[in-house]
Amino acid sequence: MSYLIQSFFNKEKLQILSIVLIPLLLIIGPFLPDLIIVILALTYLIENIRDKNFYDFNKIKTAKILFIFWLWIIFISFFSDYVSISLKSSIPYLRFLLFSLFFYLVLKKYNKKIIQNIFMLLTLIYVALFCDTLLQFFSGKNIFGFVAQYPRMSSFFDEELILGSFSIRFYPFWLALFFLSLKNQRGFLNLFIFLTVTTMVILLVILSGERTSVFFVFLILLCLLIFIKNFHKIKIIILINSIIIFAIVLFTDNIFKKRLIDDTIKDFNVSKNITEINLFSETYQSHYYSAIKIFKDNWFIGSGPNSFRKKCQEKKYNMNEKSCSTHPHNIYVQLAAETGIFGLLFLILIFLNIILKLFSSLLKSSDKVNLNFHNAKIALLVSFLISTFPFIPSGNFFNNWISAVYYYPLGLYFWISNFGSKEVNDIDFIKRS
């Protein structure tokens, strides 16, 4: 409590506290975390302009690529039929990159303190979500009286059915913090914490009934089995734990099996002729067709950021009653329609670069790298992999909440990458102050 009180009278401590609290505030809603991101982004910009020091920005290749993408979406916004809507999304979008750079600079000064604080907070968030979700499932209401929407639990998110998305999207980030916090790779406590949180995350995803999040569970665990170096006990735990949990769901008759398996088969329409199979569902398929048609007519510069919600209402693109929405529910289709071929290529190249980095990590000898840093970097790459995975429904690329989730791990990735080329003897995280 004394640390919280002191933070309000200390600029740097307040900044650290603001960064640490973002995952917690994302549960409440997008406004408070977005406000913090704006303030910290402006702080980074003002201080660097004042000091005429953009060294950190200039040496981070990913930051420069994201900056170019930002310039592109501003440029094409002026050619949109809905200029005001597009500019409202494109101009402020820079705040997420600036926030990540600010996070990176804070980590350079206070790496151990901030990493441990976020790790402890995220762990407590998972425990709180798990207990509250179980309460909601068995009693019909959570601790605040939010009613369960069987078979989809929502916990503190209430009517927003994003419990699974929050849990699984932050899990690779939590893993990165877990690896960075390790002092003893073989300690029983480490195995207990890992097993407990991993089990809670898997169960939270299942209880949420979010099918995309269930797919991400499989994808993340597969990546951990392949790319994490050493930690053989953890890999065995991942495999056994996952098999047991999903076997119970798949081979018993319950509401979650119906939601995750039976309803998915029904939405894909696989029981009918192969030519009638849907892409995920009839609704999503209608969104995709409408967005692809927009792309064909605006292939170079797109229709403008966040303009799908307006464009799909036009008679030319409104193919049926299900073709229109706030976004087309796939970020690749969305960027193709709204930002044109260059926006689409940007995302494809980012995704391919992530894949390349993951597989190139297999060529590195365990003796030549700091295992904690290496595995933390792999976990963050997996976080970016699920954020950019093309063959799955997704949220609105320009949405404040999901953008905060996308960019929050980026500051930590910038910091880890700064040490990535150094040999193991050059880095001793535990001894850093």
How far apart are the C-alpha atoms of 179 and 370, rounded to whole Å? 11
Backbone angles phi, psi at 329, to 5 degrees: 65, 30
Give the pLDDT confidence score for residue 189 in this predicted structure. Answer: 85
How far apart are the C-alpha atoms of 113 and 19, rounded to whole Å? 12
3-state secondary structure of 149: strand
Q: Which residues contact 346 (CB under 8 A, 6 or more apart)?
A: 65, 69, 72, 335, 339
3-state secondary structure of 182: coil
Q: Which two tokens stand for residue 309?
A: 């919600």
CA angle 25, 95, 84 (to 5 degrees): 105
Give the pLDDT confidence score for residue 201 in this predicted structure. Answer: 96
Over the stretch 19-59, which tens digit does the pLDDT of each residue have? 999 999 999 999 999 999 999 999 999 988 887 777 677 78
Over the stretch 179-217, which tens digit does the pLDDT of each residue have? 998 776 567 788 889 999 999 999 999 999 998 999 999
Q: To the nearest whole percent, how much of the chain has pLDDT over 90?
A: 64
Give the pLDDT confidence score for residue 244 in this predicted structure. Answer: 85
Q: Average pLDDT for residues 407-416, to the nearest whole number?
A: 95
Over the stretch 314-336, which tens digit does the pLDDT of each residue have? 989 988 888 899 999 999 999 99
Residue 424 has pLDDT above 50, yes or no: no
**Whole-angstrom Cα Rg for the chain:** 22
How far apart are the C-alpha atoms of 359 and 420, rounded to whole Å? 15
Averaged confidence pLDDT in the chain: 87
Q: Average pLDDT for residues 340-361, to the nearest whole number?
A: 96
- Tell which residue, 180, 203, 190, 173, has the closest CA to residue 233: 190
Backbone angles phi, psi at 330, to 5 degrees: -160, 120
Under 8 Å between Cβ of 83 and 22: no
Give the pLDDT confidence score for residue 48 in this predicted structure. Answer: 86
3-state secondary structure of 141: strand
Give the pLDDT confidence score for residue 138 in this predicted structure. Answer: 94
